[in-house]
Amino acid sequence: MERQKTIIKRQGEFFGYPKCCVKAFLRRVSGKKTKDKQLQVARAGFIPCAKHADKILKGETILENVIENRMCSIPFTSNKVSIYNIEFKKSERFKEWLKMVEEEEKIVIKL
């Protein structure tokens, strides 16, 4: 489970998802229910945390602006952004990221 959490956190970094949203995702993995407002603003596989969902619904920001320092070279809304997509797996950034995480975390990630 710890290993899985580490991979999820690192994947969140790769996609530029804020730490709070990644934490919210981890709570959902552990069984916490997703709020309707979160689902309302979710797109392209990214479900922001409740705080960010509020901001988006109030018009203070947009989903794209919640994403910062994205390492992934494929745009957020592309349907190619999936670890199951061959083109995605072949992207240089993804391969770099995979190598970096495996070295830093001393793990092997099988996808």
**Interface stretch with Zn ion, choices 10-18, 29-37, 54-62, 101-109 (CB under 5 A):** 10-18
Of 84, 86, 48, the C-alpha closest to 68 is: 48
Which of residues 55 and 93 has its CB atom nearest to Zn ion in the complex? 55
Q: Looking up tokens 């309707």, which residue turns up?
A: 36
Which of residues 58 and 106 has its CB atom nearest to Zn ion in the complex? 58
Of 109, 100, 88, the C-alpha closest to 13 is: 100
Residue 52 is a binding residue for Zn ion (CB under 5 A): yes
Residue 26 is a binding residue for Zn ion (CB under 5 A): no
Q: How far apart are CA 29 and CA 106, in angstroms?
A: 23
- State both tokens at 47: 């479900």
- The amino acid at 14: F
Which of residues 12 and 18 has its CB atom nearest to Zn ion in the complex? 18
CB of 6 to Zn ion, least distance (A): 19
Q: Which residues bind Zn ion (CB under 5 A)?
A: 18, 20-21, 49, 52
